[in-house]
A and B are shown apart, each in its own frame.
Chain A
Amino acid sequence: MSSPYLHINGIRKTFGEVVATDHVELEIAEGEFMTFLGPSGSGKSTTLYILAGFQDPTAGDIRLRGRSILQTPSHKRNIGMVFQRYTLFPHLSVGENVAFPLRVRRAPQAEIAAKVRRALSLVRLDGFEDRMPAHMSGGQQQRVALARALVYDPPVLLMDEPLSALDKKLREEIQHEIRRIHQQTGVTILYVTHDQEEALRLSDRIAVFNTGKIEQVGTGPELYASPATHFVADFIGNSAFLAGDLVAIGAGRASLRFADGTVLADIPMHGTGLAGGKAELMLRPERIELTAQPGLSGASLPVTVEDVTFLGNSSTVSARTGWGEVLSVRMNFGHPMMGQVRQGDALHVRWQPQHAHVFAKA
């Protein structure tokens, strides 16, 4: 088997007592768009900084095309990076900013001019060569930073939450640009974000980080359809979780009993658990619906309507289970029951059997 293009091999980094990353293991293919997704402090930036060479790992190795890069100093790694903060050189024009990596590499003048023009055109900033960074918007500055990071054809481009300082509309616009640039250049990208929508929109694959570890790696649809852990299920898609006890387990399926004695049988289960142990039932708000009649056994629960919130193209109904937990149910515009559900109604929440998941609690 040939070695992977980029191999993050068991990276561990500690700051005194704090474990920033704990045995991060990841293989990235050439040209892949890989996103690190996770909450604040989960070790995403630390992993990028180790790749960039700003920090040395406590243990582990980083291999690019089979060769360790840890002994190479940052400025010789040839890696491109776009930072969360604006990092254009304030005393240089846009053109000179983009030319900087080529100038330190002592490229010939004609080549510099051609490459700078091509890079600025790639980020749709043709003709901005003479602007000063202070006279550009945040979005434009990050596009210049992107051009500067790509102008020397780096083998890997790192992006650490490059859009987090921008407003939502601009962010979506630049996400499209990034996607187009990725397709156009074929550069391998490692992208950090804590915005699941951004991750799903951009990435080929997503690595979900939690407290310094990777919980699961997969494409967006994979993570959504079959989350490996409670954390992933919670972080991708705003799922509801109902706590109960495991009563029977077998062949990747389990039965769960809730506080009021209700039992749901034969639900797909993730992780290992023992009968009598604690577990949680995960339901996605868009996979469940409110009905007057109960559904198949193991795929519905009786509920009382608590509250109805109208959100334009959909409504959200808060439904209370028999033992007092509250579930959110999404009802799209045009649903036959929309406008008929009232507070206090006794209804059922129903789902397709394959759309519920049980996660055993450790």
Chain B
Amino acid sequence: MLLDFDKLGAWKWILSAVCALMALFLLLPILFIVALSFGDSRWLIFPPQNWTLKWYGELFADPRWLAAAWTSARIALIVMVLSVVLGLLASLALTRGTFRGRAVLRAFFLTPMVLPVVIIAVALYAAFLRLGLNGTLAGFVIAHLIVALPFSIITISGALETFDPSIEDAAILCGASPWEARFRVTLPAISHGLFSAAIFSFLISWDEVVLAIFMASPTLQTLPVKVWTTLRQDLTPVIAAASTLLVALTILLMIVAALIRKGKSR
């Protein structure tokens, strides 16, 4: 290898230090929030003097927090299912289709990834005003689907591209109807891609805050929006507790996604 780590001499230590600092830089906010959620100071004093679980108690006792979490979960689950189903259909068209303009269509499907989210949010807000979708579950789902779908399409297309269509042909000659072949052979063979797409779609919706702020109403808001609005009213450590739980679920799902990828490459 051109750059062999073991042969770098003093650089080795500098590089290691930079990496450690980077990791700290990325992790510190999370550690900070987690520590605060277990500290007993009402004023978010860092470092905490004593440890307590009372903020978690308050969180679970407050129906508004629970309602927000339930809303978030419902939206994320619906987005997850729709994103995988639509992403699969779009990916099939993009990888198997022979129609003209496929490349253009693919680029078009991916534009929400590069468009600033605020712009999507403003556009949707204006459109939903006319349709009466602001503050509804459907409004949230549509908004989150727009940003989740590109990831779904990339992941599932990638899995489909490594799947040889001759395998589907073989299943058909074995006596499976074309749909049976797709369900019994193609889908299981790309299941790692479907799982990854599902997890990322869920997480995108679960963590999303900009679109959600635009879509939210006083009676219907997601967990990140609840964190945001609460933060502007008073600085209670309950926010830290809620944030910690948000991060915990995210990390858990990321680990699952990593395990799926590792299982696939084994």
Question: Do the beta carbons of B173 and A74 come within 8 Å of each other?
Answer: yes
Bound form: Cα–Cα A92–B173 in Å:
17
Q: Is B189 in the interface zone, CB < 8 Å from A?
A: yes
List the B residue with the shortest CB-CB distance to A89: B185
Interface residue ranges of B63-92 to A (CB < 8 Å) = none
Question: Do the beta carbons of A105 and B175 come within 8 Å of each other?
Answer: yes
Report chain A residues within 8 Å CB of B175: 75-76, 78, 101, 104-105, 152
Q: Is B172 in the interface zone, CB < 8 Å from A?
A: yes
Q: Which 9 A-B pairs have the closest CB atoms?
A: A87-B170, A101-B174, A91-B188, A104-B175, A87-B167, A104-B176, A81-B173, A75-B172, A74-B172
List the A residue with the shortest CB-CB distance to B169: A54
15 pairs, CB–CB < 8 Å, chain A vs chain B: A52-B173, A74-B173, A77-B173, A79-B173, A80-B173, A81-B170, A81-B173, A83-B170, A85-B166, A87-B166, A88-B167, A90-B189, A91-B189, A100-B176, A152-B175
Of B164, B172, B185, the most chain A CB neighbours within 10 A belong to B172
Q: Is B191 in the interface zone, CB < 8 Å from A?
A: yes
Bound form: Cα–Cα A91–B185 in Å:
8
Q: Is A6 in the interface zone, CB < 8 Å from B?
A: no
Question: Do the beta carbons of A83 and B180 come within 8 Å of each other?
Answer: no
Report chain A residues within 8 Å CB of B169: 52, 54, 74, 83, 87
Question: Do the beta carbons of B167 and A89 come within 8 Å of each other?
Answer: yes
Interface residue ranges of B165-220 to A (CB < 8 Å) = 166-167, 169-178, 180-181, 184-185, 188-189, 191
- Chain A 99-127: CB-based contact to B (< 8 A → 1; otherwise 0): 01100110000000000000000000000
Report chain B residues within 8 Å CB of A81: 170, 173
Choice from A73, A77, A91, A145 contacting B170 with Cβ under 8 Å: A145
Given A74-B169, A75-B176, 16 additional A-B pairs, CB 8 A: A54-B169, A75-B172, A75-B173, A83-B166, A87-B164, A87-B169, A89-B167, A89-B170, A90-B167, A90-B189, A91-B185, A100-B174, A100-B176, A100-B184, A104-B180, A148-B170
Bound form: Cα–Cα A105–B176 in Å:
8
Question: Do the beta carbons of A75 and B191 come within 8 Å of each other?
Answer: no
B260, chain A: closest CB distance, angstroms: 13
Bound form: Cα–Cα A188–B173 in Å:
16
Question: At the interface, is chain A mostly helix, strand, loop or mixed?
Answer: loop
Report chain A residues within 8 Å CB of B178: 75
Choice from A85, A149, A152 contacting B164 with Cβ under 8 Å: A85
Bound form: Cα–Cα A80–B171 in Å:
10
Report chain A residues within 8 Å CB of B166: 83, 85, 87
The count of residues in chain B whose C-beta lies closer than 8 Å to any C-beta of chain A is: 20
Question: Do the beta carbons of A75 and B177 come within 8 Å of each other?
Answer: yes
Question: Do the beta carbons of A148 and B189 come within 8 Å of each other?
Answer: no
Assess A89 versus B173: contact at CB under 8 Å? Given A83-B166, A104-B180: no
Report chain A residues within 8 Å CB of B167: 87-90
B256, chain A: closest CB distance, angstroms: 19
List the A residue with the shortest CB-CB distance to B266: A134
Bound form: Cα–Cα A152–B185 in Å:
19
Report chain A residues within 8 Å CB of B174: 75, 100-101, 104, 148-149, 152
A33, chain B: closest CB distance, angstroms: 20
Bound form: Cα–Cα A88–B168 in Å:
10
Bound form: Cα–Cα A73–B180 in Å:
14
Report chain A residues within 8 Å CB of B164: 85-87
B211, chain A: closest CB distance, angstroms: 36
Bound form: Cα–Cα A74–B173 in Å:
6
B184, chain A: closest CB distance, angstroms: 8
Report chain B residues within 8 Å CB of A87: 164, 166-167, 169-170
Bound form: Cα–Cα A75–B164 in Å:
18
A142, chain B: closest CB distance, angstroms: 12
Question: Do the beta carbons of A91 and B176 come within 8 Å of each other?
Answer: no
- Chain A 59-99: CB-based contact to B (< 8 A → 1; otherwise 0): 00000000000000111111111010111111110000000
Bound form: Cα–Cα A105–B173 in Å:
12
Bound form: Cα–Cα A83–B171 in Å:
12
Bound form: Cα–Cα A85–B169 in Å:
11
A110, chain B: closest CB distance, angstroms: 19
Bound form: Cα–Cα A145–B166 in Å:
12
Report chain B residues within 8 Å CB of A78: 175
Report chain B residues within 8 Å CB of A52: 169, 173
Choice from B171, B189, B191 contacting A100 with Cβ under 8 Å: B171
Choice from A75, A77, A89, A149 contacting B189 with Cβ under 8 Å: A89
Question: Do the beta carbons of A89 and B171 come within 8 Å of each other?
Answer: yes
Bound form: Cα–Cα A83–B172 in Å:
13
List the B residue with the shortest CB-CB distance to A86: B164
Report chain A residues within 8 Å CB of B185: 89, 91
- Chain A 32-51: CB-based contact to B (< 8 A → 1; otherwise 0): 00000000000000000000
Of A83, A86, A89, A149, the most chain B CB neighbours within 10 A belong to A89
List the A residue with the shortest CB-CB distance to B180: A104
Report chain B residues within 8 Å CB of A149: 173-174
Bound form: Cα–Cα A79–B173 in Å:
6
Report chain A residues within 8 Å CB of B180: 75, 104
Bound form: Cα–Cα A105–B185 in Å:
15
Report chain B residues within 8 Å CB of A145: 170
Report chain A residues within 8 Å CB of B177: 73, 75
